[in-house]
A and B are shown apart, each in its own frame.
Chain A
Amino acid sequence: MVSTQHYLLLAAFLFCIGMFGVMVRRNALVVFMCVELMLNAANLTFLAFARQRGDSIGHASAFFVIAVAAAEAAIGLAILIAVFRSRGTLNVEEIKTMKH
């Protein structure tokens, strides 16, 4: 029997992978995918608790997160394309003009 703890452990594991990816990967596209991974970890948590409690509020929240993630993906990818066109690179270490 798969319990809620198993789901949560999986979610934490996914979240950590995503977080480390955001912190260490150089390619902005990969950073972006890692963000999606973190969002899905949160989704998994919502659904695990929804299953445990037997109500639908968690499902609704998960749908919201999916909707937001879709919008974010659309806008984020557009930004990435624009950045690549203007700078010719997606290496986040080279995109740091907003500083002191």
Chain B
Amino acid sequence: MPFFDCLQQASFFDCLAHPPLDPYAVSQGLWLIIALPLAGALLSGLLGRLLGRANTNLIACAAVGGSFVISLLAFLALNDRSATLQTPFSDEPLRFALGHDFGTWFAVGAFRAQFGLAVDHLSAVMALVVTGVGFLIHVYSTSYMGHDRGYWRYFAYLNLFVAMMLLLVLADNLPLLFVGWEGVGLCSYLLIGFWYEDAAKAWAGRKAFVVNRIGDFGFLIGMFLLTLWVGAFDAQTRRFAGQGRALDHWRAGMMERGPLTFHGLEEAVRRIPPAPAATAGAVTLQTPIESGPLQGLTFGQALTAVLLLFMLGAAGKSAQLPLFVWLPDAMAGPTPVSALIHAATMVTAGVYLFSRIGFLLVLSPAAMATVALVGAATALFAALIAFGQDDIKKVLAYSTISQLGFMFMAVGLGVFWAAIFHLATHAFFKACLFLGAGSVMHGNADETDIKRLGGLRREMPWTAATFLVASIAISGFVIPLSGFFSKDAILHGVHASRLAVFEWVPTAVWVVGLVAAFCTAFYIGRLYLLVFEGKRSPQARVAHPHESDWPMTVPLVILAALSVFAAVYGLPIIHAMGRDQTLIENYLLPVSRIPEELERIHRTVAIEEAAGWSDWMKTWTEAWFIALAGGLLAGVLYLWYFPSPHRAPSALGRALMRAARNGFYVDRLYELAIVRPTKLISFLLYKVVDTLLIDTIFVRGTAWVTARVATVIRYLQTGDAQSYAAVMALALFLAAGYALIQVLK
């Protein structure tokens, strides 16, 4: 019962638990969440110049703000008792989920894709983060882009980005998700190259696009394989475990909604029994595929291939090894864009994807191990590079890559709730850090070199205070804030995870994660201390920086506050299922229930849950000491050791620093191994195929032959009309003679 209906029957306080809007109405209106920013993008893009700066600002902010309000209504409506989603795949409705099918996008043979949107606890958290942080960044941008001529273009792209990200999050099938997936990539390209008059920035946009395309290619192939996989599953399954009608029901749903909906896939894999317990007519992961292009593989192997291809896609979008190289260059875009796209939202798409298809991931220990190891390697590698960066935005970019690595660690080892928790807290504090960096640049004539800043705390108190809060949140030194809890939840879950087949992986990932956490505290400490503490650098561009306007500082304060208070969700204060659960774990249970069930049945991964507060206290203390050590090291080095003129870093230190500054030469390696050979081959193809074969032989050759023939036969054209008439008469005479002979015969 909605809140206002309730008010007529009961008192105000009794009604507080009721959602403001009826769940059915919310499910019908889900499209509005996407349509609002999309309309905003159209308005700003087409009419922004006519409307003027103030109106465009208003439209852009209002579109995202409205989207946030509807997302909030959906979020609240989800907790109502009547918030159930009846999918066509099974009899039992899904609880705590809403959705609606808005019609067919396309249907070819047995394949179809629907405009289906669904929201559950996972999508709701994502939608709130995207629209909430997105709204704050829009407000911030009104001031940051206050002097830019291309404001209308900027806000059109930004709104389009939010719309695409929401489509990605709310889609209930993979093809529609892919539209959002590509859309955010496109907007990222447009915004990185926003100042396209600067060639380096335009190239950075192109690099991001190309690297993303490599990942998207993997994603596409993965989707094709998954379609084949579902087809084979459909063909070889004789009956589902349980009721006899379940299989018919599922097949009917597949016909209606297509093979790649999340609910349909979930229903399918739920019916896969573990190999020893298989009944006749059921498909297990060890069953070989009998026909089709996947013939010869077992269902489990094919699924692993699909998941590894998805991992390639996720590595491209979420900047993981080996495709992370675009994100540091993406800092060419305006700083709020870095905050929104390259820290808070788009780059989390890979984490979201794997949380969404967690029920597939947990069936393949090999894919899980790969995801976790890639995440761990990226977390450490990027954190090490962040040591050596002097550009304030580059430090934050590598920090983002590193934090995303943490999320992939958690996803890979089945601790989905910790990954989503870290995703949300990271969105808050990283957006705060990036916006803080933007504020620093705004007040210091676009200076980004941290060696040429320093001592900003006195002139920019709001920026410094919020930056400090966010720094503490990300590293957890001094006092634990939200990022500390979420990162610790990941490390704790990773440590407690027992992966089948690859038993060594969780331990390895855990150790690497601890080292990366130490590095995090160090580089963030270095960043804060160099920028805000100490003395003002003699090379500073501006003698006295100024604090930014309120549209820039207010979002900073809100984000800093969120970074602090989000910690509440990491406290194990709910007692359920025989143990203390953290708030966020409990909240995400409706989504993570099925992956956890599958983990148990197939014994792919087991997570030894913390028994209670005492366990959590132990891991918190561990993690806190590590963060403290990293932070203290940074403090000692940059407040006491380096500022004194007599001490210079050792030769080894300098060499390491140089390597880290150059990103361990990964870009140069790619340049040598991939870009140069590609360019060489392209050059050869251009010279041989294009210039020689097509241009010279085909195009010019045809013209040459025609011209030569024409030089000879053109003498037939005398210009004398009477000789033409004579030829015609002769032809007529011959034709008449021929006809006469035929008739006489």
A residues adjacent to B (C-beta < 8 A): 19, 22-24, 31, 92-93, 95-100
Which residue of B715, B721, B722, B726 contacts A100 across the interface (Cβ within 8 Å)?
B715
- C-alpha spacing A31/B714, complex, angstroms: 26
| Contact call A100/B720, Cβ cutoff below 8 A | no
What number of residue pairs across chains A and B have CB atoms under 8 A from each other? 32
B726: chain A residues at CB < 8 Å are 23
B717 within 8 A of A: yes
| Contact call B717/A100, Cβ cutoff below 8 A | yes
Q: With both chains docked as a complex, state the minimum distance between the C-beta of A16 and any C-beta of chain B, in angstroms.
A: 9
29 A-B pairs (CB sep. < 8 Å) = A19-B725, A19-B729, A22-B722, A22-B725, A23-B722, A23-B725, A23-B726, A23-B729, A24-B722, A31-B722, A92-B720, A92-B721, A92-B722, A93-B720, A93-B722, A95-B721, A96-B719, A96-B721, A97-B719, A98-B717, A98-B719, A99-B717, A99-B718, A99-B720, A100-B714, A100-B715, A100-B717, A100-B718, A100-B719
A22: chain B residues at CB < 8 Å are 722, 725
- C-alpha spacing A99/B720, complex, angstroms: 8
Interface residues of B in 700-719 (CB under 8 A from A): 714-715, 717-719
18 further interface pairs, Cβ-Cβ under 8 Å (given A23-B729, A93-B720, A98-B719): A22-B722, A22-B725, A23-B726, A31-B722, A92-B720, A92-B722, A96-B718, A96-B719, A96-B720, A97-B719, A98-B717, A99-B717, A99-B718, A99-B720, A100-B714, A100-B715, A100-B717, A100-B718
- C-alpha spacing A93/B721, complex, angstroms: 8
- C-alpha spacing A100/B715, complex, angstroms: 6
- C-alpha spacing A97/B719, complex, angstroms: 6
B719: chain A residues at CB < 8 Å are 96-100
1/0 contact string of B516-529 vs chain A (CB within 8 Å): 00000000000000
Q: Which residue of A lies closest to B721 (CB)?
A: A92
- C-alpha spacing A15/B714, complex, angstroms: 31
B residues adjacent to A (C-beta < 8 A): 714-715, 717-722, 725-726, 729
- C-alpha spacing A92/B723, complex, angstroms: 11
Q: Which residue of A lies closest to B723 (CB)?
A: A23
- C-alpha spacing A98/B726, complex, angstroms: 17
Q: Which residue of B lies closest to A24 (CB)?
A: B722
The binding surface of chain B is classed by DSSP as helix
B722: chain A residues at CB < 8 Å are 22-24, 31, 92-93
B721: chain A residues at CB < 8 Å are 92, 95-96
A19: chain B residues at CB < 8 Å are 725, 729
A97: chain B residues at CB < 8 Å are 719
- C-alpha spacing A32/B543, complex, angstroms: 97
Q: Which residue of B lies closest to A25 (CB)?
A: B722
- C-alpha spacing A73/B721, complex, angstroms: 18
A95: chain B residues at CB < 8 Å are 721
B725: chain A residues at CB < 8 Å are 19, 22-23
Q: Which residue of A lies closest to B715 (CB)?
A: A100
- C-alpha spacing A31/B725, complex, angstroms: 11
B714: chain A residues at CB < 8 Å are 100
- C-alpha spacing A93/B723, complex, angstroms: 10
- C-alpha spacing A98/B718, complex, angstroms: 8
Q: With both chains docked as a complex, state the minimum distance between the C-beta of B667 and any C-beta of chain A, in angstroms.
A: 63
- C-alpha spacing A22/B722, complex, angstroms: 7
Q: With both chains docked as a complex, state the minimum distance between the C-beta of A17 and any C-beta of chain B, in angstroms.
A: 13
- C-alpha spacing A34/B303, complex, angstroms: 88
- C-alpha spacing A92/B725, complex, angstroms: 12
- C-alpha spacing A88/B715, complex, angstroms: 27
- C-alpha spacing A19/B721, complex, angstroms: 13
Q: Which residue of B lies closest to A100 (CB)?
A: B714
- C-alpha spacing A30/B714, complex, angstroms: 29
Q: With both chains docked as a complex, state the minimum distance between the C-beta of B240 and any C-beta of chain A, in angstroms.
A: 79
- C-alpha spacing A38/B729, complex, angstroms: 12
- C-alpha spacing A19/B714, complex, angstroms: 26
Q: Which residue of B lies closest to A96 (CB)?
A: B719
B720: chain A residues at CB < 8 Å are 92-93, 96, 99
Q: With both chains docked as a complex, state the minimum distance between the C-beta of B740 and any C-beta of chain A, in angstroms.
A: 13
Q: With both chains docked as a complex, state the minimum distance between the C-beta of B250 and any C-beta of chain A, in angstroms.
A: 74
A99: chain B residues at CB < 8 Å are 717-720
- C-alpha spacing A99/B717, complex, angstroms: 5
- C-alpha spacing A97/B721, complex, angstroms: 11
Q: With both chains docked as a complex, state the minimum distance between the C-beta of A75 and any C-beta of chain B, in angstroms.
A: 16
The listed residue with most B CB atoms (<10 A of its CB), out of A22, A31, A100, is A100
The listed residue with most B CB atoms (<10 A of its CB), out of A24, A31, A95, A96, is A96
Q: With both chains docked as a complex, state the minimum distance between the C-beta of A61 and any C-beta of chain B, in angstroms.
A: 20
- C-alpha spacing A96/B720, complex, angstroms: 5
A100: chain B residues at CB < 8 Å are 714-715, 717-719
Q: With both chains docked as a complex, state the minimum distance between the C-beta of B340 and any C-beta of chain A, in angstroms.
A: 69
Q: Which residue of A lies closest to B729 (CB)?
A: A19
Q: With both chains docked as a complex, state the minimum distance between the C-beta of A53 and any C-beta of chain B, in angstroms.
A: 20
Q: With both chains docked as a complex, state the minimum distance between the C-beta of B739 and any C-beta of chain A, in angstroms.
A: 14
Q: With both chains docked as a complex, state the minimum distance between the C-beta of A8 and any C-beta of chain B, in angstroms.
A: 13
Q: With both chains docked as a complex, state the minimum distance between the C-beta of A26 and any C-beta of chain B, in angstroms.
A: 9
